[in-house]
Every structure is written in C-alpha cells, then in structure tokens.
Amino acid sequence: YANPDLWVDGIGFVDVKSPKETTNCCRNANHASKEQYACVCLTNHSFKSKVITEKQLEDRNRAIWISDDYHHEYIFWLIDGTLRKYKRP
C-alpha cells in the first residue's frame, strides 16, 4: 500500500485528503482508492470557501460513487470537526 493515513477496523485503510476546491474531491477520492488502496476521508478545512453545503456533499459523493476508479463502500467527510460516514447506495 502506498502510505494511507489510517487503519479502521471493519473498513480497512483510510486516506485523508484536504482539497482546496470542492471540485477536486472526486479526483482525491480516486487517488486514495486507486493509488493507495484506501477509502477516502475528505476534509473541508483547506477549502478556499471553508464552507460546503449539503447539496455539494451530495453532488461530490455522487460523483465519487459513479467513478470507475473508486472501489470502496464508504466515503468519510470531516466537516468542521464532525466525522460523517456515507455508505455506497
């Protein structure tokens, strides 16, 4: 494995990504999955706007789920200190 950040029992490897733009979330998730064989945990602390709406979360998750490069059942988000877990629909 190419240096993922965490091991979570029942999930496996998790790689934390902090993109500057919400539009980079899918690319970061795909990198975690394809290059690091890890589930992704995205954070909003580096976003230029510092804010992500529920609609943006839904859109980003949808883009990740439909990607052929994301092979995991979960996406994690750390939003303003609160960890959220989303399961593949």
pLDDT (tens, 9 = 90+) of the chain, 89 residues, equals: 568 888 999 999 999 999 988 889 999 999 999 888 899 999 988 887 767 889 999 999 999 999 999 999 999 999 988 999 999 99
**Residue 39 and residue 1: Cα distance in Å, rounded?**
12
- 60: which 2 tokens? 């980003």
Q: Against a cut of 0.75, is the pTM above it? A: yes
What is the pLDDT at residue 1? Answer: 52
Residue 89 in contact with residue 58, Cβ under 8 Å? no
Query: Residue 70: left (phi > 0), alpha (psi -120 to 50), or beta?
Result: beta
